[in-house]
Amino acid sequence: MASRNDRRTPLERIEYAIIVSTMLLMVVVTVQPILNLAAISLSDPGRVPGMSGLAIWPEGFSLDVWTLLLNHPNVRQGVMNSLLITGVGTLINVTFTALMAWGLSRPGLPGRRFLFVMVLITIVFEPGIIPDYFINKRLGLLDTYWSVILYKAVNAWYLIILIRFFEEIPNELLEAGELDGANAFQIFWHVVLPLARPALATITLFYLVFHWNEFFRAMIYLTDQSKWPLQVVLRQFVIGGDKLSMVGVQAMSNFTGASQISIRALNAGMIILTILPILIIYPLILKFFTKGTMSGALKG
Amino acid sequence: MAAGEEQRLDTASIIGNVPTESRRAAFLRGAQRWWPYYLMMAPGIVFFVVFHYLPIWEAKIAFEQVRIIPPNIWVGWQHFQTLFASPVFWQVLANTLIISAMKMAFVFPVPILVALFLNEIRSGPLRKFIQSAIYLPHFLSWVVIAGIFIAALSPSGGVVNQIAGLFGLEPRSYMTDTGAIRWVLVYSEMWRSAGWDSLLYLAAIIAIDQQLYDAAEMDGANRWQKIWYVTIPGIVPTIATLFILNAGMFLSADLNQVINMSNDVVRGTIDIVDTYVYRIGLQTGEYSLATAAGLFKAVLGMLLIIVAHNVSKRLTGKGVW
């Protein structure tokens, strides 16, 4: 490497410096606004109104915002709902998708082409939210967690990714299983799934992120506020600018500690709280997604 | 189906004059072999039928007069006529096309540049660090991103106005500025996807044969010549595929983004077909009209993706399917 660098002309060095600094600028532009919100949420509430948007370090240090948020019934309920929807939803997603992908990856399956076309059509033609709403209504799913959980229970793109992966499994391994007298289910469970672990991990992460971030369906299907996932609660606070619901009428009119906290600090804390689970699994995402995307072209 | 039959024919021709089994026997043999697979696929198939195909049937209310006491009355194209006569619909359609065109022009090329730049960075750890940071926004919801942008663009203490202030510019309230809000959509889309989408191009770049670069170097090509004559031709199929997918989404312009970045002041400027469908359908209760608008969008979107697919196939020999 050193010898390579030595061969570089001054012009090439300047080019390289420009490329690196452009990319570092992109990093700053991406991360700074998030760090700023984290800093605001951890600052002394009294100093938040004067805080600069450039700050990435808390001014003073206080957990007031976080204490208020984490003790807030709506927020707690939101976190529980999100965890429930994400957990159950992902479990159903991965199970349904893996089972269907396994069948569709078998070359001799009768009706394989038909099923493929059936899946592809759903990618290019979506009749829209109103028919979707009516189906949920007709099935009695409105205002139940199921309306959100079952949406995209099998995602056509992820299904195709898994099919491609299953097709790569060497036939000898499957035939060995058959010779041992294993039936189709046993082969799937004992041979296919262990081999598919990286692919399954990838789509599990895809689905986890999808459910955690789901907002629109939850907003239109769940009228009962106690079922709202965190994203909808966040929207009510941040986009709706509804501080009252956050602080509570009592605390607001009493001029107690809570009313001193600015809406800016509460919003910042709420946003960071909603991102937190994503940040926690982000190292895993980097590990699997980047690898998965490198090995086969996919759109996520 | 076809593959299975071929296999049987092959076996028969190898073994010789084996009497062909009756259709019934063949069917039973197939059923015996394949029923476990169909059992495993059943939940998925049921899901597709119920949540993707029943809604298509359900969309027939676009042609019906909805009555409180069923049955609905068939009215044909009446709702579509109402729709096409409505100036609001043409406005939202224009908004959608303008926003999509802006995104196509200003957002679509960025991940390509990002991938080209990333590929030039030789230091592994530095490259990993940059990647880890710029992929993150892709995994954030639009509610969160809208929250981040509302804070960053705020006239009081937002980072953008603060930097503009350093150059002596007056603070602007971008989120409530009809002249700025479409650019906010463009920029926030770029912020969210430019990093992650570059990954697909980077994968294509890495797959390019190293010998081509070596040959170019022998010919004395510099960095930019190598990019222009080797890298870019190598990723054209990927560019084409992503272009098609984007073209197919041209009439969508991202409902989740718009609904979270919208407010009373700028609604008219960024109201798109999807938000219009949502508003007149689920908020005002004009189900038939909303479904008609949704169907119009779905059919046009499907035609777009088919056209884009064929164009791409003719130009690069590669389509999406």
User: What residues does each domain of chain B span?
Assistant: 2-74, 78-316
Q: From the CA of B16, how many Å to the nearest CA of chain A? A: 22
b/e B114-130 (16+ beta carbons within 10 angstroms → b) = bbbbbbbbeeeeebeeb
| Token digits of residue A128 | 């829209």
**Domains of chain A by residue range:** 1-62, 64-295
Nearest-angstrom CA–CA distance, A59 and A39: 8
Q: What is the CATH number of domain A64-295?
A: 1.10.3720.10
Contact B18, A94 (CB under 8 A): no
Identify residue B73 by its one-letter amino acid code.
I
Give contacts of B 67-106 with A, CB under 8 A.
none
Q: What is the ipTM of this complex?
A: 0.89
Contact at CB, B199 and A23, closer than 8 angstroms: no
| Token digits of residue A281 | 């699994």
Confidence of residue A262 (pLDDT cuts 50, 70, 90): confident
Among A33, A129, A294, beta carbon nearest to B152:
A33
Q: Which CATH number fits domain B78-316: 1.10.3720.10, 3.10.350.10, 3.40.50.620, 3.30.1390.20?
A: 1.10.3720.10
Among B154, B200, B290, beta carbon nearest to A297:
B200
Nearest CA in chain B to A153: B47
CA-CA distances (angstroms) from residue B20 to A264, B8, B13, B27, B207? 78, 10, 10, 13, 48
Among B7, B27, B29, B48, most A C-beta atoms within 10 A, so best to mutate, is B48
Q: What does the pLDDT read at residue A297?
A: 39
Is the minimum CB–CB distance between A209 and chain B shorter than 8 Å?
Answer: yes
Which of A264-273, A274-283, B300-309 has the least mean pLDDT?
A: B300-309
Is the minimum CB–CB distance between B109 and chain A shorter than 8 Å?
Answer: no
Identify residue B178 by its one-letter amino acid code.
T
Beta-carbon contacts of B22 under 8 Å, excluding residues fewer than 6 positions away, are none
Q: From the CA of B224, how many Å to the nearest CA of chain A? A: 10
Among A54, A128, A234, beta carbon nearest to B143:
A234
- What are the mean pLDDT values of chain B's consecutive 10-residue runs (321 residues total)? 45 50 80 88 94 91 83 87 94 94 95 94 88 95 95 89 90 90 96 93 89 89 88 89 82 89 90 93 90 93 85 70 57
Q: What does the pLDDT read at residue B20?
A: 62
pLDDT in tens, B163-191: 998 998 888 889 989 999 999 999 999 99
Is the minimum CB–CB distance between A111 and chain B shorter than 8 Å?
Answer: yes
**What average pLDDT does the structure give for chain A?**
86
Is the minimum CB–CB distance between A226 and chain B shorter than 8 Å?
Answer: no
Contact B178, B261 (CB under 8 A): no
Q: What does the pLDDT read at residue B6?
A: 44
Contact B177, B263 (CB under 8 A): no
Q: Stretch A100-120: mean pLDDT, rounded?
A: 92
Contact at CB, B38 and A134, closer than 8 angstroms: no
Among B4, B150, B256, beta carbon nearest to A108:
B4
Contact B82, B289 (CB under 8 A): yes
Q: Stretch A198-223: mean pLDDT, rounded?
A: 93
pLDDT in tens, A115-150: 999 999 998 888 889 999 999 999 999 999 999 999
Among A23, A115, A298, beta carbon nearest to B118:
A23
CA-CA distances (angstroms) from residue A182 to A134, A167, A176? 44, 20, 9
Nearest CA in chain A to B49: A118
Is the minimum CB–CB distance between A17 and chain B shorter than 8 Å?
Answer: no
Q: Stretch A54-75: mean pLDDT, rounded?
A: 89
Is the minimum CB–CB distance between A113 and chain B shorter than 8 Å?
Answer: yes
Q: What does the pLDDT read at residue B8?
A: 47
Residues of chain B with Cβ-Cβ distance to A19 below 8 Å are 117, 120-121
Give contacts of A 55-94 with B, CB under 8 A.
none
Nearest-angstrom CA–CA distance, B242 and B236: 10
Nearest CA in chain B to A232: B143
Is the minimum CB–CB distance between A184 and chain B shorter than 8 Å?
Answer: yes
Q: What does the pLDDT read at residue A250?
A: 53
Residues of chain A with Cβ-Cβ distance to B259 below 8 Å are 216
The helix (run of H) or strand (run of E) holding residue B316 is helix B287-316
Is the minimum CB–CB distance between A2 and chain B shorter than 8 Å?
Answer: no
Confidence of residue A7 (pLDDT cuts 50, 70, 90): low
Q: From the CA of B312, how many Å to the nearest CA of chain A? A: 16
Residues of chain B with Cβ-Cβ distance to A234 below 8 Å are 143-144, 147
**B235 three-state secondary structure:** helix
